[in-house]
Structure 1
Amino acid sequence: MRTGRGPLFLRRADGWLLPLEVERWCARADPADLAILDRCEGAVLDVGCGPGRLVAELAARGRTVLGIDVSEAAVAHTLELGGQALRRSVFDPLPGEGRWATVLLIDGNVGIGGDPLALLRRAAALLVPGGLLIAETVPVDVDERAEVEVVDLSGARGTGRAFPWARLGTPALLRYAAREDWRAAGQWTAGGRCFVALRSRSARSSADPPKSTAVISSQWARNPSAERPVADR
């Protein structure tokens, strides 16, 4: 992530390797990415933002956008590009909960946590009622969960920290979404990649009305330093 070059992989316990597209993630937003961003509504939360190409592009458009990632290097890179980012898990407390208009789960991030239902519930809690979730899916019909580790080219040297991950094709994601009362709002492919748009439930149990998205940008501190992530809150 720091050098902008791979290769890196996710390795399962059985030795199977999933390539990570480090060079693409560290490049500028490509046409497939731009098609995603054109669909975004209101304030955008990019979950697992990586080195921040989507956050930076939305910020350049004058949009309210925040990236979150558990990688310090990813957050630092996003800040260098002029985007706002926090080093935080999606399951941690986040600014503007219940007031984001769009949540992004791109570059395989629909697999975060290895539990699609839990991730969909969390996304619904982050969004305004009727908010938009845009997720990238695997371009085959797959539904699998595994413990994985990030490893280098040889597959021999890794982080030593296994974590749960999931891989979902579009049919699997739509099945999970239906169980959580999400409404399908679109499917498309671009650049060999597959995407799904979902709408959250239009009503919540909370009696508190959603606040204006205009206040979301004040929920985190601006930090021009590329050496230190924005402080946790």
Structure 2
Amino acid sequence: MTISLNIGNEFDTGLLGRRCSLELANGKLVELPVDRWTEDSCDGDELLLAACQGPTLDIGCGPGRLAAALGERGVASLGVDSSRTAVDLTRRRGAVALHRNVFDRLPGEGRWRHVLLADGNIGIGGDPVALLRRITELLGAGGSAVVELDPPGSGLRHERVRLLSHDVEEQPEGSWFTWAWVGVDAIADLAAQAAMCVEWTAGRGHRWFAELRRS
């Protein structure tokens, strides 16, 4: 299955540290945690990093805080992002990153020990099952996906959204794209549809995580 993603440039505003939100089709705004993206570390990151004990593919790496932190721990990592700005920022941190769509051909397919989907990246493409099926193609035997989720009770939501910057008075209207949000309570069913199972779920502060393996 191929999903075309052309949203890389949409997130450049947030990657550069400017305050921004996702506008939903009903007009509601969801502010994005740009401070978390650009910091060196934040609450919950330790759980993600500790789960990665071997070569790790960081999907939607953003400005590269996790890819860089893994490198500092001696864990080989590769950041992947559809935004050139994200890739440039990741490389400036000293990490390795590739400008590519997760659904395109990637290095080391079928051999990665872990795949990271942090900071809501389970929503990439708006189809979490398709994304998880793609992750199973990237993982090696015994590998796992470490995924950040929404709190329990959030379920599964799909929305058409576009990016708005609060720091730009006059800006062109951004293009609409599909995104998804997955709560802790929804991940087991979605994982099963992708022939995966949930190893554990855990919360740290206001953030929630799970580790998935092939069934």
What TM-score results when the alignment is normalised by the length of structure 1?
A: 0.81
Distance in 1 separating the partners of 2:101 and 2:114? 17
Alpha-carbon distance between aligned partners in 2 of 1:161 and 1:93, rounded to the nearest angstrom: 25
Which of 101, 112, 120 matches 1:89? Answer: 101
Report deviation, 1:142. Answer: 2.5
Q: 1:227 matched to which residue of 2?
A: none
1:134-160 deviation line (CA, Å, top 9, x unaligned): 111111422111111111127974662
d(CA) in 2 for partners of 1:10, 1:92: 25
2:70 corresponds to which letter in structure 1?
A: L
Which residue of structure 2 lines up, in the alignment, with residue 197 of structure 1?
A: 211
What's the secondary structure of 2:79's corresponding residue?
strand
2:166 aligns with 153
Give RMSD over aligned pairs. Answer: 1.8
2:37 alignment partner in structure 1: 25
Q: Is the 8 A contact 2:18 2:167 kept in 1?
A: no
Tell me by how many angstroms 1:85 deviates.
Answer: 0.4
- 1:156-208 superposed Cα distances (whole Å, 9 cap, x missing partner): 7466221111011011121111222212111101121000111124xxxxxxx
1:71-220 to structure 2, matched below 5 A, reads 71-139=83-151, 140-153=153-166, 157=171, 160-201=174-215
Give structure 2 stretches of 5+ with no counterpart: 1-11
- Taking a change above 3 Å as real, the CA distance of residues 183 and 26 of structure 1, as seen in their structure-2 partners, is same
Partner of 1:41: 53
- What is the count of residue pairs matched by the alignment? 201
Shift of 1:33: 0.3
Q: Letter of the 2:199 partner, please give it.
A: A
Q: Secondary structure at the match of 1:28?
A: coil
Max Rg structure: 1
What code does the residue aligned with 2:50 have?
D
Gaps of 5+ in 1: 202-233
Tell me what 2:4 maps to. Answer: none
Please give the secondary structure, in 1, of the residue aligned with 2:101.
coil
User: Normalising by structure 2, what TM-score?
Assistant: 0.87
